Amino acid sequence: MRPLISGIIGALLAFAVLRLLGRISPLQPKAHSLEWYAERYQWIEWAALAAFLGGIASGLFLYQSARIPTNDPRGVAVGFVLGCLGAVGTLLTICSISRSHRLNEYWDYQELKYGAKNKFALWVVGPVFGLSLYGAVDLLIRSSS
C-alpha cells in the first residue's frame, strides 16, 4: 500500500512543479492551436505510451520469471529504461518515416498540452533515466557473472 500512496503523492507533486515552472517561464506562441496539434499528434502519444508500458511490463516480467528477488529495485530500473527507449524509439520512427508528422511539431504539441517547456521535464527524466540505466547495467553485469 505504501508504494501506491507514495506514487500518487509523487505524481501530484510532479504536476504541481510542472504548473509552477510553466508560470515562471511562459511558453512562446505556437504556429497552430492545441486542437490542431491534438488531431495530428495525439495518436503518436498513445503509441509511445503503449511502448513505454510494454517496457515496464518487461521489467516486471523479470520478477515473475524469478530471475531477480522481489525486493530488488533493479527490475523496475530495467523496465523504466526499456520503456523510455521504446517510447522515444516509437516517436522518432513515426516522425522520421511520416512526411506529415514532424518532431518539432510534436514538441510544440507537448508544450501546449502540459503548459510548460519540455526542457523542464528533461531535467527531471534525464537523471532518473541515468540512475535507471546504471541499475539495469549493474543487473546485467551481476547476473552474467
Determine the structural domain holding residue 64 and report its residue range. Answer: 2-144
Q: pTM for this one?
A: 0.69
- Return the amino acid letter for 143: S
Q: Check: CB of residue 105 under 8 Å from CB of residue 37.
A: yes
Counted domains in the chain = 1
- Cα-flanking dihedrals φ and ψ of residue 76, to 5°? -65, -40
If one compares 145 and 24, the residue with the highest pLDDT of the two is: 24
Q: Which three cell numbers stand for residue 68?
A: 531477480
How far is CA 133 from each of CA 75, 83, 127, rounded to the nearest angstrom? Answer: 11, 11, 10
pLDDT tens, residue by residue, 79-130: 888 888 898 889 888 888 888 778 778 877 777 777 666 666 666 667 777 7
Position 2 pLDDT exceeds 70: no
